[in-house]
Amino acid sequence: MTNTSRRRFLGGMAGGAAILTFGTQAPGFLQAAVHSGRSDSGRSEKILVVIELGGGNDGLNTIVPFTDDDYRKHRPKLALAANEVLKISDSHGFHPSLKGFAELLQNHQLSIVQGVGYDNPNRSHFESMDIWHTCQRKEENRSDGWLGRSLEQRGTSAGPDPAGLHLGGEKQPFALMSHRVRVPSIRSVEQFRLNGTDSQRFRDAVKELADARRSPDNDLLSFVQSSTSSAISASERIEAAGKSYKAAVPYPETDTGAKLETVAKLISSGLGTSVYYLQLDGFDTHSQQPDAHAGLLRQLGDALSAFVKDLTAQGHSDRVLTMCFSEFGRRVAENASEGTDHGTAGPVFLAGSQVKPGLIGKHPSLSDLTDGDLRHHTDFRQVYATVLEQWMGCDSQPILKGTYNPVEALALKN
């Protein structure tokens, strides 16, 4: 099948993305990966790691306005006291479980953009998450996400490697979807391989059959075919890439810790991937919030702190930026179940050695509420614009489908 038909198919796609998607043609690329002549050129590329806090993180108990009377009034059971929080300033402090974030801040490696949200907030998890992922509302017929669009715009920078990677067993995040670039999802490097390929005959047959073009009448079939083809080639690349790394610091034995360790491993191995995406779920704390929230924040802070330390030790910290966001914050007033319901604005975190450390923007007011919810003052697309323009070197306007002023959250050294 058809080398001709395959060539015809590739010819019909935008060149770079096609090679990426069907990246099995380059002969001997496995050796190239191991010896990594490319890793030098790859090393200059900036890398973005996105951590999605799923369920709606309670921003108010994450960055705590501990001197605010309204805070204690709205949160008779859930308010954190001045002597519990880890102080950022005279009026604001981290949740006591965020020791990792406090440490990052001390090392000038954490920027906290406060009061981030969007107009006419939607309080459905799914809809609000989709808005953050696509920068579009439901009625706009969404088909791709902001990171996917940025990968399309950047074209071939990853070489034969996947342009982006999603770590986790969840369904693929909408943010990474695009029309031309397929982003693999991997649970772990070890699980990301095809069994049976020790048989040469089997391996050859499966690869060739997956690469062969199918009739275009069935969109789903074309989609599955290109996905199968890129899955098989990505698994070969990643298996080869992960072999030479050893973590410089111990990672916490949590899901997020393990995922960030995998990211560090792939970065250190010279993989050309420029966007990594992972999720930490469970922030939908409608009831019995204190223990659950504390556990999640501890998991996040400890893992991110280890990750940044490891990257610093491996010499990659200047080219890796991590961003943490959630689809919304929570209602200011607590509910009767020692929990909080869906709200609006919340903080976004940027971590790495090239951030402007500290609090950016004001904490949203607790006396000026809309329907019992915080009012945002920074649109989430302003944070995206910062990352796209200043970090990834993209033109943010077509990606965000509008012009958004960046926030002053990065302090680039080079």
Partner 1 sequence: MNSEIDADWAWAPFNPAPDRPWDRRLAAHLFRRAGFGATWEQLTEAVSSSPSEVVDRLLNVAEPPDYRKQTAALTDAAVAVGNVQQLSAWWCHRMLTTPAQLLEKTTLFWHGHFATSAAKVPEIRLMLAQNELLRRFAFGDFGQLLLEVSRDPAMLMFLDSATNRKAHPNENYAREIMELFCLGEGNYTENDIRELARSFTGWEIRRDKFRFNSFQHDSGTKTILGQTGEFGGEDGVRIVLQQQSAPEFLIGRLIRFFVFDEPVPSKALVAPLAAELRDSGMQIRPVLKRILSSNLFYSEHAVGRKVRSPVELAIGFLRCLEGSTNSFELSEQMNVLGQGLFFPPSVKGWDGGRTWINSSTLLGRSNLIRHLLEHDKTRFGRKSLAEYLNGAQLTSAESIINRLQTLLFAVPVPMAAREQIADLIDGPGDRNRSLAEGLHALCTLPEFQLC
Residues that bind partner 1 (CB under 8 A): 1-2, 123-127, 138, 162, 166, 169-172, 182-187, 191-196, 199, 201-202, 205-206, 208-210, 212, 214, 218-221, 223-225, 227-228, 230-232, 234-235, 286-287, 334-337, 339, 341-342, 371
Q: Which is nearer to partner 1, 207 or 363 (CB)?
A: 207
**Euclidean distance between CA atoms 232 and 213, whole angstroms:** 15
For partner 1, the closer of residues 23 and 270 by Cβ is 23
Please state the closest distance from residue 286 (CB atom) to partner 1, in A: 4
Q: Which are the contacts of 296, defined by CB distance < 8 A and separation ≥ 6?
A: 53, 57, 280, 282, 283
- Of the pair 244, 287, the CB lying nearest partner 1 is at 287
Pick the closest to residue 299 from 51, 31, 1 (CA basis).
51
Q: Residue 369 is which amino acid?
A: L
DSSP three-state, residue 49 = strand
The minimum distance between CB 127 and partner 1, in angstroms, equals 6
Closest distance to partner 1 from the beta carbon of 62 (Å):
20
Degrees to nearest 5, angle at CA 248 with 242 and 254: 75
CB 56 → partner 1: shortest distance, Å? 11
User: For partner 1, which is the closer residue by CB, 108 or 187?
Assistant: 187
Q: Which is nearer to partner 1, 201 or 246 (CB)?
A: 201
Nearer to partner 1, 26 or 209 (CB): 209
Minimum CB–partner distance for residue 226 and partner 1 (Å) = 9
On whether the CB atoms of residues 270 and 43 are closer than 8 A, the answer is: yes
Helix H or strand E encompassing 51: strand 47-54
- Biggest alpha carbon–alpha carbon distance for the chain: 72
Token duo for residue 8: 């015809």
Give the shortest CB-390-to-partner 1 separation in angstroms: 30
DSSP string, 330-370: B-SS--TTS---B---EEEEEESTTB--EEESPPPPSSS-B
CB of residue 33 to partner 1, shortest distance in Å: 17
Min CB(381)–partner 1 separation in Å: 21
Complex with partner 1: residue 204 or 408, whichever CB lies closer: 204
How far apart CA 58 and CA 274 sit, in angstroms, is 29
Give the nearest distance from C-beta 338 to partner 1 in angstroms: 10
Nearer CB in complex with partner 1: 35/126:
126
213 contacts 5 by C-beta, under 8 angstroms: yes
Q: Where in 67-138 does DSSP place strands (E)?
A: 86-87, 93-94, 110-117
Nearer to partner 1, 319 or 376 (CB): 376
* 116 φ, ψ (degrees, to nearest 5): -95, 135
User: Is the Cβ of residue 81 or residue 221 nearer to partner 1 in the bound state?
Assistant: 221
Amino acid at 320: V
Give whichever of 114 and 230 is closer to partner 1, judged by the CB atom.
230
Smallest separation, CB 309 to partner 1 (Å): 28
Give least dist CB 183 to partner 1, A.
Answer: 8
Q: Please name the helix (run of DSSP H) or strand (run of DSSP E) that holds residue 290, with its range, or none.
A: helix 289-314
The 3-state DSSP class for residue 48 equals strand
Q: Under a CB-based contact definition with an 8 Å cutoff, are residues 337 and 286 in contact? A: yes
17-49 b/e (C-beta count within 10 Å ≥ 16 → b):
bbbbbbbbeeeebeebbeebebbeebbebbbbb
93-94 β-sheet, strand order: 63-64, 93-94, 86-87
